[in-house]
């Protein structure tokens, strides 16, 4: 072991941590009072955007996701990082290349630095355009290996995928353990082999769901990992990331350097301990490891979805059957990693199979599209008898799915012409039309009220006198 090696940390508190624990409901008002102190810690990067945040800021918080990015960037010198779902961008289906390029362009111009780019099927074709556009506009491309377990997911499989991403211009590689199932032994092997094969910086991401996260990080670091993802302790563990302070103390006891100050971290932890109480109705964690994930490979978010779905059907007693069905569906579907959107596709079908008492009696539209190749190529072949039962003799495509999607930006621009205030609004609508349009309409109506108040009374919405320059 190199006793002097510096291990870097990415802080997930502003994105994945509250997405995992608090249903992505944290408002910008609970970030800004502490953002300067977070920025001064010395993190490798701050993950603060992407994933589910883009959708939920508009849908539930009445915030503009672009404004959130700009606001944080103005306050931070630490590189900002986001999670980008490849051709899915931030949604649940593939979008046209012109939408993807516009998103990458405006994200880079808005201050995003590091783009963690993944595909739910580990299909490199679905990542290549995102990687190309991020490079084009000056961002750092972090190519992702989504970790899962099957007979097809060998160390060699991950090494070959890393090589494909390196060939496509990745600046670094992330091993993304979204379910918290990467054990210390495999972590050591994969990091070591990938590092030797591509020679790029390696970052490791996990969730503490199974309780193995910190142990796994230590072995990954021993094998050569350069950066790990952690959350501040008061927003860590359970389905979130390992605790930053714990990892700092552990690694320094082993002779590594982190250059992070535990006293300064404590101040941030105390702040978020209080903030977390504000979101108690969304905070459903019981603070204990969920070892079901080791048996079924089901991330915590999927279990929450199952509970909601089964409760609506008065069938909560069926949860064990649904959990047992997930691995069978996943095998039928070619062993996709369970991450958005494949986790929703597999999970919904597993629930249907159990509730209807017959496997594949009914299939969702997303499952039908998956079986026809419109989400990309699964890691292993799907079972043909299952495909036949779901889509019959419908055509199956084998090209990059987005090659079949015509440009979408022009239609999006026409749709929002009456409510848009900036070019980024077009992108917001193109990705989430049903969410963005009500948001943009409400914003315009609110602005109209403010303009009317200024014109009538000479004051803004807060009652302040408005004066105009000469």
Amino acid 1: pLDDT: 47
Neighbours of 361 (CB within 10 A): 11
How confident is the model over 129-141, as pLDDT tens digits?
999 999 999 999 9
pLDDT over 70 percentage in the chain: 94
pLDDT over 90 percentage in the chain: 86
- Arithmetic mean of pLDDT, 381-409: 97
Provide the token pair at 151.
Answer: 């007979």
Amino acid 465: pLDDT: 59
Residue 45 pairs in a beta bridge with: 10
Lowest mean per-residue pLDDT among 153-157, 186-190, 391-395, 462-466: 462-466
Cα dist from 162 to 116, 173, 400, whole Å? 14, 7, 19
Cα dist from 46 to 12, 116, 144, 356, whole Å? 6, 12, 17, 44
Per-residue confidence at 5, pLDDT binned at 50, 70, 90? Answer: very high
**Residue 52 main-chain phi, psi, to 5 deg:** -90, -5
Mean pLDDT of the chain: 93
| CATH number of the structural domain 8-282 | 3.20.20.70
Per-residue confidence at 468, pLDDT binned at 50, 70, 90? Answer: very low
Is the pLDDT assigned to residue 462 strictly greater than 70? no
Is the pLDDT assigned to residue 308 strictly greater than 70? yes
Amino acid 460: pLDDT: 62
Per-residue confidence at 99, pLDDT binned at 50, 70, 90? Answer: very high
Is the pLDDT assigned to residue 470 strictly greater than 60? no
Amino acid 129: pLDDT: 98
Per-residue confidence at 456, pLDDT binned at 50, 70, 90? Answer: low
Spell out the CATH class of 298-398: mainly alpha
- Arithmetic mean of pLDDT, 38-44: 98
Amino acid 459: pLDDT: 59
- Arithmetic mean of pLDDT, 43-47: 98
Per-residue confidence at 463, pLDDT binned at 50, 70, 90? Answer: low
Task: Report the alpha-carbon distance of residue 145 to residue 152 in Å, rounded.
Answer: 14
- Arithmetic mean of pLDDT, 408-433: 98
Q: 287 or 438: which carries more pLDDT confidence?
A: 438
Is the pLDDT assigned to residue 282 strictly greater than 80? yes
**Residue 47 main-chain phi, psi, to 5 deg:** -85, 115
Task: Report the alpha-carbon distance of residue 13 to residue 234 in Å, rounded.
Answer: 9
How confident is the model over 334-348, as pLDDT tens digits?
999 998 899 999 999
Is the pLDDT assigned to residue 454 strictly greater than 90? no
Domain ranges of the chain: 8-282, 298-398
Per-residue confidence at 269, pLDDT binned at 50, 70, 90? Answer: very high
Decide if 235 contacts 17 (C-beta within 8 A). yes
How confident is the model over 104-134, as pLDDT tens digits?
999 999 999 999 999 999 999 999 999 999 9
Nearest CA-CA partner of 400 in 130, 115, 83, 156 = 130
Angle, CA of 225, 230 and 234, to the nearest 5°: 160
């Amino acid at each position: 072991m190199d006793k002097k090696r510096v291990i870097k940390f990415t802080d997930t508190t502003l994105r994945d941590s509250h997405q995992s624990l608090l249903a992505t409901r944290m408002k910008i008002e609970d970030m800004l009072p502490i953002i300067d102190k977070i920025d001064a810690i010395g993190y490798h990067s701050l993950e603060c955007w992407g994933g589910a945040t883009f959708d939920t800021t508009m849908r539930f918080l009445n915030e503009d996701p672009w404004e959130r990015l700009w606001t944080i960037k103005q306050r931070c010198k630490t590189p900002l990082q986001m999670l980008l779902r490849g051709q899915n961008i931030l949604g649940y289906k593939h979008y046209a290349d012109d939408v993807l390029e516009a998103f990458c362009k405006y994200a880079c111009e808005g201050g995003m630095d590091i783009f963690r780019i993944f595909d739910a099927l580990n299909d490199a074709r679905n990542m290549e355009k995102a990687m190309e556009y991020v490079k084009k506009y000056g961002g750092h491309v972090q190519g992702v290996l989504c970790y899962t377990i099957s007979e097809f997911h060998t160390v060699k499989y991950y090494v070959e995928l890393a090589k494909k991403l390196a060939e496509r211009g990745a600046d670094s590689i992330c091993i993304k353990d979204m379910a918290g199932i990467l054990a210390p032994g495999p972590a050591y092997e994969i990091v070591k082999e990938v590092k030797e094969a591509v020679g790029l910086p390696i970052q490791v991401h996990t969730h503490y769901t199974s309780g193995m996260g910190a142990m796994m990080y230590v072995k990954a670091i021993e094998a050569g990992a350069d950066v790990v993802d952690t959350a501040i302790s008061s927003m860590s563990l359970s389905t979130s990331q390992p605790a930053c302070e714990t990892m700092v103390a552990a690694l320094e006891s082993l002779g590594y350097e982190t250059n992070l100050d535990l006293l300064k971290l404590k101040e941030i932890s105390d702040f978020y301990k209080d903030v977390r109480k504000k979101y108690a109705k969304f905070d459903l964690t019981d603070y204990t490891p969920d070892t079901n994930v080791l048996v079924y490979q089901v991330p915590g978010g999927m279990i929450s979805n199952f509970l909601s779905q089964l409760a609506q059907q008065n069938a909560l007693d069926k949860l064990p059957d649904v959990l047992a069905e997930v691995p069978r569906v996943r095998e039928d579907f070619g062993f996709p990693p369970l991450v958005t959107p494949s986790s929703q596709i597999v999970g919904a079908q597993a629930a249907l199979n159990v509730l209807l008492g017959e496997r594949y009696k009914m299939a969702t539209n997303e499952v039908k599209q998956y079986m026809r190749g419109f989400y990309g190529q699964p890691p292993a072949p799907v079972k043909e008898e299952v495909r036949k039962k779901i889509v019959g003799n419908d055509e199956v495509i084998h090209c990059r799915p987005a090659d079949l999607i015509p440009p979408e930006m022009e239609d999006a621009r026409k749709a929002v012409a009456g409510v848009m205030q900036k070019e980024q609004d077009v992108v917001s609508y193109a990705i989430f039309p049903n969410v963005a349009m009500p948001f943009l309409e409400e914003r315009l109506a609110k602005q109209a009220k403010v303009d009317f108040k200024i014109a009538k009374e000479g004051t803004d919405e807060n009652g302040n006198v408005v004066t105009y320059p000469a």
